[in-house]
Amino acid sequence: MRVRINGFFETLPQGTSVLDVILRHEEYDVHMIVEVNHRFIHQKDYETTLLKDGDEVELIHPAFGG
């Protein structure tokens, strides 16, 4: 299946979860925000949220500081 991750298309196997994408991209951060198709995904749902062909995933790292 073809999924867009942070603006770039990738081909992933069926059954790929949000957690799989995070680990594949070595992006995990406790403060990270994940959106699938512009909908927030809670951290507890990363493993059970399966992606579908055409999904758009955003891995967002908030900037802290002043």
Would you say residue 42 lies in a domain? yes
pLDDT of residue 29: 77
Q: Is the pLDDT of residue 58 over 90?
A: yes
Range of the domain at 23: 2-60
Domain count, the chain: 1
| 3-state SS string for the chain | CEEEECCEEEECCCCCEHHHHHHHCCCCCCCCEEEECCEEECHHHCCCCECCCCCEEEEECCCCCC
CATH number for the domain spanning 53: value is: 3.10.20.30
Q: Is the pLDDT of residue 61 over 90?
A: no
Please report which confidence band the pLDDT of residue 56 belongs to, taking 50, 70 and 90 as the band edges.
very high
Would you say residue 65 lies in a domain? no
Task: Look up residue 64 and give its amino acid.
Answer: F
pLDDT of residue 43: 94
Would you say residue 28 lies in a domain? yes
Would you say residue 66 lies in a domain? no
Average pLDDT over the chain reads: 93
Q: What Å distances lie between residue 19 and 16, 22, 28, 57, CA to CA?
A: 8, 5, 9, 11
